[in-house]
Structure formats: C-alpha cells, structure tokens
Structure 1
C-alpha cells in the first residue's frame, strides 16, 4: 500500500451504469483542467452483484487499470480486509470534517478510512398526506393508522420483502429501529436479544394480520414504488430516488398527495439503513497522487451539488442540506438529513455476503410463517457465527 503514492498520470474511474448522466460531465470537467492526468470512465452494468464481481476479479488479478473504483457502502469492509483498498491516512488523508457521520463510518474499517464518501442514501417513509395529515413517528402509531387504509380499501404499509438484498435492508431497519442490532460493535452477531425479537416481530405480525399486504412478499423497490404510486398503499418505505418518479410520471395517482417523513421507530424516529457509494483507490494503482486529487475533486461542493441536482443523489456534505437552491428543488433533503443522522450502516463486516444471506433467508421464512421470529433470529445468529463473523 506504500507503493506509487507520488505517481501522477492518467487514471481509470470504474462505476456502475451512468443512468442519470452524472459521471461523464464531471469527468469532462476534470479532464479540461488536467491535460496530463486524464480520467477514463469504465462503465459497469447497473446490477450491483455484477459490479461487485467485476471489481473482485480485477483486484484478485492485481491489475493496475482500475485506479479509482466506486464501492457500495456494504463492500468497503470486505475489500479493505482483503488489502485491496489504499488506506486514506497520512499523506493520503482526505478531510471528512464537513461530511455527515454515517457515510464516513460506512467508508471506514477498524478505525481507518478506506474510501471517500461520494453520495449517501437512507430509507424514508412516504405517506398519503391527503389521508394522514400528520405522519406517525413510531411503529405502533403507524399500525394504529392502518384502520384508515382499511376504510379506504387500500394496503397499509410496505417496504421490500422479496428474498434479496432489500429484505436485509428492511429487516435490519426493523431490528435497529427497535433498539437491537444485527452485529455488535466488535462485529459479532447479537440477534438473541429482546430488541431484535421485537423488531423482527413487528414485521412478522404486520404481515400476518394484513397490515403489510400479502403481495408485498414479492416486492423489490420498483414493485413497491408502483403500488404506492398507483394509490394502493397508505405508507411506504423506500429510497429517495422514487421521489422524482412519483412527482413526474404521468401514471402517478399520488403526485401531489404524498408527504415524506423519517421512518418510525420504537419511541421516535427509527434507524434507516444507510445506502450510497464511496470512491476508493486501488492499492495496485500506479498513479495514486492523481487518484487522491480526483477523490478530493469528487468531494468538492460543486460536484456534490451537481450529483444532487442531476441525479437526486444525497450529498455527503452536511452544509448542502441547508442550501436553499437545493432544498427548493429537492424538498425531501430536510427529511433525508434526519434519516441520515439516525442511519445505521448495514453490518460492517468482511463477511457481508454470508451475513446478508443469513438475514434474508431467515427473515423471509419468518414472514412466510415457516419459523417464529425467535427461531429465525437464532438461526440467523448460528449461520453468521459459522460464516466466520463470530470468530
């Protein structure tokens, strides 16, 4: 990791599909100012697991052609533990003092920063403000309001409950919001607690009694968005990206009838699962000095504003959440700031793929009624321990 720290010259930046056309313009801007340190964009697919595997293959082959890579917040610990990411300390340090805490925490492993937070993301409660003028602040309050959904013949609440990464997000949010946690601060599973049980049981009970509609067991982000957007849900948990779709799509039945709030918790705002991406420097890069300057460029206010305006990506700089130009265009930023200040990264562990598998499979079995919440958590605990995260 000490090699090529002073190297300067062309670099390659690797990121998933540029759907909102944000990557090319900011790279063009960099290139115009750095004729001898040009950045080439290597575009991956839009599937997160394929992006992950592509990065792993390049790192394993120790290839120097992936200089700066975009890493999902859940990959940082895995890549750092394998020694693939350049630690951002000493002469490679970046200033994180103006950033939100949660994304910085998610970009760190064992107390060292390994990536520059680039954009953040947190879960938000969307609600029908025409039917519920004041959103619930606790889970129990929300469940009581389900009578309003019944009276209007629509579903009450849904997140994403298909067996995939989104279910890990939703199960972790339920557990964290009830005061529990999937892993403790030493990275060991801590699922056999009354808080974890209460959290998972909240979902299981709501699904069993119909407050979460039956079809929600097939929902990923897009299916659940369509259910809310077509007017079939009173409350809905999703990421901020759906805001622009609900407000602009012609088919939207709730364009001006919805509000956004923090996810409800046990006795106040709950804990959102943190999403988002960071930019990391490969230890195999030959031009790390250029790469470091490029990370600092990504973190500048001007680029952060551009990401927010162009792709409704949540900035990592705290000050932008009070920027009037941005909050006028993206009114949800104030809600998102609250969500992010209560956000908890998904379990930070190099064994993340095994952890998420254990959480998804067991939470899904509990929702379907194949296991009690208690049994599901005990099995989750066992699987994570045997995957090595308990040692």
Structure 2
C-alpha cells in the first residue's frame, strides 16, 4: 500500500493534464494511449504509477514506457482511469464493480486486498502469460500472495516496499535500536527544537501497516491458519497491547507530537524533513529517493535510515507491501495485453524508473540503480520482512486498528478497552464472511 497517498490526492482530478513529449511517436492524448481509431480497446484503472505521476521526471519516463508499449500494438488503445487518494475506498468500489461485471479490464490492485479479489473469484489467471522461471524468481511471500488455491497466479505483484526509521544524523547521530532508544532520541530532538518522531496515526492503511512491525517483532499473530482473528487472545493480546502502548507513550511523553493522530500521508514526512521541523520519522524505503530529490545535496547528506526499532535490539520486523496488476476482463485478448503491460512496463522498467523495489530477485542485478548501498540494504531486509496475512478479513482488521489507534493516540479511551473493541469487531466480521 505504501506510497500511493504521496501523490494520489491530486490525481483524483479528471482534468489533470498528461505530459506531452516532443517525440513524434507520442501516442498519449488526454486519457487515451494509442490511436483514436484503434479497433481494440482496453480500460486500465491505475494509480499514479504512470503518465499522470506528479513528478515530471517520472511522468515523462512512464509516458515513454507506455508509448513504446502501444507502438508494438498499433491495433490497441488503452484508456487510463485514475484512482483517487482513498485507496481503501477505491479498492472496495472496484471489488463491487468486479462482482457486478462492471470493473475495468485491467487494474492496479493493492496487495493487501488481493485476498478479497481472489476469494471473490473475479480475477483472470495470468499463469499462461508468465513462465515458471519468472514465477520462481519471485520472493516467496510475493509468490504466495498471487497464487490461488488451484495453483494458478491471479495477478502480477511487480513492486514491493518496507518500512524503516529515517533520521537526521546531525540531530540523532546513532540509529535507535530499541523502543526506548527511539523515545530518548525523539525527546532529545524535541529539546533541539524539533517536533519529535513522526508516524502515520489517522484513518489510513499506512497507520496499521507501519505500526504492525512492533507487534510482529514480538512474534505476535493477527490471524490463525484459517484466517480467524486471534490478536485479542492470550499472549497475542498482551503483545498487541504492549505495541499499542509503545505508540501511546511516545505521544503522551512528548516524544511524538499529538498531530500524528491526524497524519495519513507519507508526504507529511518529506515536507517536515524539507522544512527542518523533524529529525525522525517512520517511512517507506521509496522516500529515500524522494528526499534526495526534495532536499539540497548538503541537507540530504544529513539523512540516513535504519531498521525499525524493536522492544529489544534482537526483536525486529518490518512490513512489506506493494502493488499488483490484475485482469478482470473475460476477453482473453485483453487479459494477455494486461499481462503484457505488467511485464513490459512495470516488471523492471517501472521499478528502475521510480526506484521501487522489484519482487524478482534477479532484477536487482539487472538494473544498476539497485546496486546502490541503500537499495542493497533494502533488498536484504526483504528477506526478513513480513507481509500482511493472506486472510480476507485483514482489511476489516486494519480498519479496526485504525479506529483503535485514533482513540488511543488522542487519549479518549484506555488501551485495553480499545484493543478489545477492535478485536470483537474483527471477529464479528470474520463470522459474517
């Protein structure tokens, strides 16, 4: 799920103007890629990972990729439909459209809701279009995520990410290894005029996913093997409450500002870093490249990242997310073009363009950009990263965690009561499914 909130809010406007390249081969006009009289048409609903990206360099890069793609298919036209910034709502709407037969032909599906789409049986198999070698190169958690009960793959998960702790080395010289270390570092930064550590804390999937590493680091489990919520029972409940109180204490101690309860956008962290108002934030690996672009070289040199702190230095975890491309159309020709789009535009070229981590191990050697020390560190961390559970009830668990976090961070409810309410609501949702 990750970074989409950074740029998607502006993308909701239907009057957003696509960049026009000077290249005579440019075939992008408004919402259309390809000749207006092309006999074959496919609708692709997308995030800003495409020609409408708000970063000009990325927009131009994607325009070239889409132009090259359609140039090989002169009889095809692609209509681009943009999602709004409310990813959860957008994905829920698309699932309902798929059930009623009115979904786009091809679309970006967030990895955290992919189980719902697979369970509903609305996705078309991509197995005929990807080789066994390509599938074998995927990281195990990626391969598991796109594979259905019948052994076929039902999406192509092309990018992944992880969460880390960013810090300004001038203010926080040493990487915090434990929760206590982070609290002390954040309080020290406040004494130096900063606002403390920032993290997502509002009604936003990023709030859940960024925080979950603190629960997982203790060995906590959200669901059992049957997909039933168990985070509010026994030892899991104790670990869950401990992780929630960690965030609560950061706010109540002043180590984190109260405004974290209103943050639901990674852009806020970049802006705070650029403004020099924070020295610490929990963010995604993709933000390292964004900081390099947003900050002057001297300022960027002050910033570094490290693994998320854990309750102890030996207890660490991080969440791994990402985006997939999937097909809803029952037209085999459209399914193939959708799969080709995933392969030729996204699997590799788009990873390199935006420095979004590939999901195939062999692509780290293919593209020079991933040979940097930063990206090598990110790639190594993926081996111990944890994805959201492949349970259809997860989106509702996430929703309840977001509600719970709002109550806890604002101090309107005791942690234990808020956790128990979140668990009860999640369990009820599971029983209804």
TM-score normalised by the chain length of structure 2: 0.76
Q: Which runs of 5+ in 1 are unaligned?
A: 1-8
Residue 85 of structure 1 corresponds to which residue in structure 2?
123
Equivalence map 1:222-261=2 (5 Å): 222-249=267-294, 254-261=299-306
User: CA distance change for structure 1 residues 139 and 320 in 2, over 3 Å: closer, same or farther?
Assistant: farther
Q: Using CA pairs under 8 Å that are at least 6 residues apart, name the structure with larger relative contact order, 1 or 2.
A: 1
User: CA distance change for structure 1 residues 185 and 242 in 2, over 3 Å: closer, same or farther?
Assistant: same
Residue 99 of structure 2 corresponds to which residue in structure 1?
60
Write the distance in 1 (CA, Å) between the matches of 2:193 and 2:360. Answer: 42
User: CA distance change for structure 1 residues 92 and 327 in 2, over 3 Å: closer, same or farther?
Assistant: closer
Could you tell which deviates more after superposition, 51-60 or 70-79? 51-60
2:390 paired residue among 329, 348, 363:
348
Residue 157 of structure 1 corresponds to which residue in structure 2?
197
Could you tell which deviates more after superposition, 98-107 or 256-265? 98-107
Report the Cα offset of residue 59 of structure 1.
1.2
SS at match of 2:78: strand
1:327 paired residue among 367, 370, 390:
370
Residue 418 of structure 2 corresponds to which residue in structure 1?
376
Write the distance in 1 (CA, Å) between the matches of 2:65 and 2:249. Answer: 47
SS at match of 2:357: coil
Residue 114 of structure 1 corresponds to which residue in structure 2?
154
Write the distance in 2 (CA, Å) between the matches of 1:129 and 1:250. Answer: 15
Retained in 1: the 8 A contact 2:202–2:406? yes
Q: CA RMSD, aligned part only?
A: 3.1
Retained in 2: the 8 A contact 1:180–1:199? no
Deviation per residue, 1:2-38 (Å, 9 max, x gap): xxxxxxx7644331233133554333323333445x3
Report the Cα offset of residue 278 of structure 1.
0.7
Report the Cα offset of residue 310 of structure 1.
2.3
Report the Cα offset of residue 214 of structure 1.
1.9
Equivalence map 1:136-155=2 (5 Å): 136-155=176-195
Deviation per residue, 1:26-59 (Å, 9 max, x gap): 33323333445x3514221342245325523531
Equivalence map 1:1-391=2 (5 Å): 11-17=42-48, 18-19=52-53, 20-21=58-59, 23-35=62-74, 38=76, 40-47=78-85, 48-49=87-88, 51-63=90-102, 66-89=104-127, 95-108=134-147, 112=151, 113-192=153-232, 193=236, 194-220=238-264, 221-249=266-294, 254-266=299-311, 267-268=313-314, 270-282=316-328, 284-287=329-332, 291-292=335-336, 294-295=338-339, 298-299=342-343, 304-322=347-365, 325-327=368-370, 331-388=373-430
User: CA distance change for structure 1 residues 127 and 185 in 2, over 3 Å: closer, same or farther?
Assistant: farther
Write the distance in 2 (CA, Å) between the matches of 1:103 and 1:321. Answer: 15
Retained in 2: the 8 A contact 1:159–1:219? yes
